[in-house]
Structure 1
Amino acid sequence: MTTLKPATELAAAANRPYPNDSAAYRQARTALLAEEIELRRHVERVAAQRRELPLGGEPPPYRFRDENGRTVGLDHLFGDHDTLVTYFWMYGPQRERPCPMCTAFLGALDVPVRDIAQKVAFAVLGRSPVARQLAFARERGWRNLRFYETVGDDFARDYRGLAPDGSEWPALDVWVRREGRVHHFWAPELAETADPGQDPRLAVDPTPLWNILDLTPAGRGSDWYPRLEY
């Protein structure tokens, strides 16, 4: 096992001032850098622990409708891969427009999903007909995401995308296929664990919007959300 250097030692060695930095700034920035190194290491430890999860349960035989009108099973969404990532977005038939937060997340994935697809399959699931989902995708200029309609609401209810009162929630899930069988592998399960003053968020948050804002002095704030139009 590789012995890691202390984060404080690495931070001190990397301490190179930018033009006109004050001593107070460099001291605070170096202390923060040590914390960032520890955070990076913790993120990797959590990722390694996640990768070691045993197989989850086998899902019921849910059905989905693709853009050609074909009804397919979850296994079909894998394509040639043995890992599938699905994102259930809040765009049910009762909504006039999709959720802006879901839209921000998917918009950031439309280009890199071509790279993601080299390693795993990725599919967007919604309760609206595929034609309606695709119409919005084209409006936003998306070209690469694959959309499917959930047939019935069992999938959305079972995998925490549809509450008993009919309200929708986004749901990110990872599935694996082993020896011809599909298993649930991972989902965030963080919706009811938010700390005071925070919206539910993943660890690590996969949305570039929030990651960029978290780097700024004001942070992401607690009262601002993206909109579909500005």
Structure 2
Amino acid sequence: MTSHTTGTRDDWLTARLSLLSREKELTRQSDELAAARQALPWVRIDKTYRFDTETGSATLADLFGGRSQLLVYHFMFGPDWKAGCPSCSAIADGFDGFAIHLAHHDVALWCVSRAPIEKLAAYKKRMGWHFPWASAHDGDFNFDFNVSFTEEQQRDGSIEYNYAKNRHAMDQKDPPETVKQGAADVGTTAPAYSLDRPGLSVFAMQDGDVYHTYSAYSRGLDSLWGMYQWLDRAPKGRNETGNWWKRHDEYPD
């Protein structure tokens, strides 16, 4: 017998209608937040960023592909890593499905990482993905948009991520268990793993100029996890202890 609260259909309907009222309010708040995001001031990008892509060198403006809006997912894949981040991989599993719809709504979607393009292309082939992925291996792009950091920042605790400064330097000899596990998952050291974080950066192009319009990090990316939107509606919710997910080709049959 279930340990969860049970009741009649009428009990359920009463509770469901109460919840529906709260869901509608959350939807209205979400609409208001979306409008507030779109109302943020734009910041013109005067720096020239160059990327390596599977079709050659490209600028930030080139990534728009003739569209006026660009979404960049900062995929955690450091230069010396053997594989991409499993969490980013879980998010990216949904990109192919909706990228074509975004493209037909004047929005380009790209992933950007610091790993060399050869590694990105090989991992993309392994995962069976088709969305475009660029390497910012030799540039400042990831650093300027606060998803990659230097070893000096790591040592002195001056990393700023998700609009807050990390005032504590990481213990190089005994890093947190979550960092150790993350490093093991991608085949690198804990210090090297900690130099890259996930994020979303958004850009607009107008009259030939590129503008930065929005960025989000950490749990600000929650809504991009397609699987979480489904789990939040499942009877047991996320029901998780630690990072339970794997790359989609690593689950047992």
- Tell me if both proteins adopt one fold, taking TM over 0.5 as the criterion: yes
TM-superposed deviation, 1:59: 5.0
**Which deviates more, 215-224 or 38-47?**
215-224
Partner in structure 2 of residue 48 of structure 1: 35
Alpha-carbon separation, structure 2, partners of 1:156 and 1:207: 21
- Paired residues, what number? 199
Deviations 1:163-198, CA, capped at 9 Å, x for gaps: 33352111211100112111100011x54xxxxxxx
Q: Which of 88, 106, 121 is the equivalent residue of 1:134?
A: 121
SS at 1:29 equivalent: helix
Please tell me whether the aligned partners of residues 64 and 108 of structure 2 are also in contact (alpha carbons under 8 angstroms).
yes
The question of whether the paired residues in 1 share the 8 Å contact of 2:115 and 2:137 is answered with no
Corresponding residue for 1:183?
A: 211
Does the alignment pair 1:89 with 2:108? no
In 1, the alpha carbon distance for the partners of 2:220 and 2:28 equals 20
User: Partner amino acid for 1:39?
Assistant: L
Tell me if 1:213 matches 2:205.
no
Select the residue among 4, 8, 12 that pairs with 1:25.
12
TM-score, normalising length from structure 1?
0.80
RMSD over equivalenced CA pairs, Å: 1.9
- Moved runs in structure 1, 4+ residues, more than 4 A? none
* Counterpart position of 2:99: 113
Q: Quick one: structure 1 residues 98 and 59, their matched pair in 2 at CA, closer, same or farther if it must change by over 3 Å?
A: farther
C-alpha change, 1:128 and 1:151, in structure 2 (3 Å) is closer
Residue number in structure 2 paired with 1:150: 136
Asked whether 1:172 is paired with 2:200, we answer yes
Instruction: Compute the displacement of 1:210 (Å).
Output: 0.9
Task: Classify the secondary structure of the residue corresponding to 1:95.
Answer: coil
User: Which has a greater percent of helix?
Assistant: 2
Question: Contact 1:62/1:151 (CA < 8 Å) preserved in 2?
Answer: no
Q: SS in structure 1 opposite 2:21?
A: helix
Query: How far has the Cα of 1:139 moved from its partner?
Result: 1.3
Q: Deviations over 1:31-51 (max 9, x none)?
A: 001000111111111111212
CA distance in 2, matches of 1:118, 1:173: 20
- Give the TM-score of the pair, scaled to structure 2: 0.73
Q: Structure 2: 5+ residue runs without aligned partners?
A: 1-6, 155-191
Identity of aligned residues (%): 28
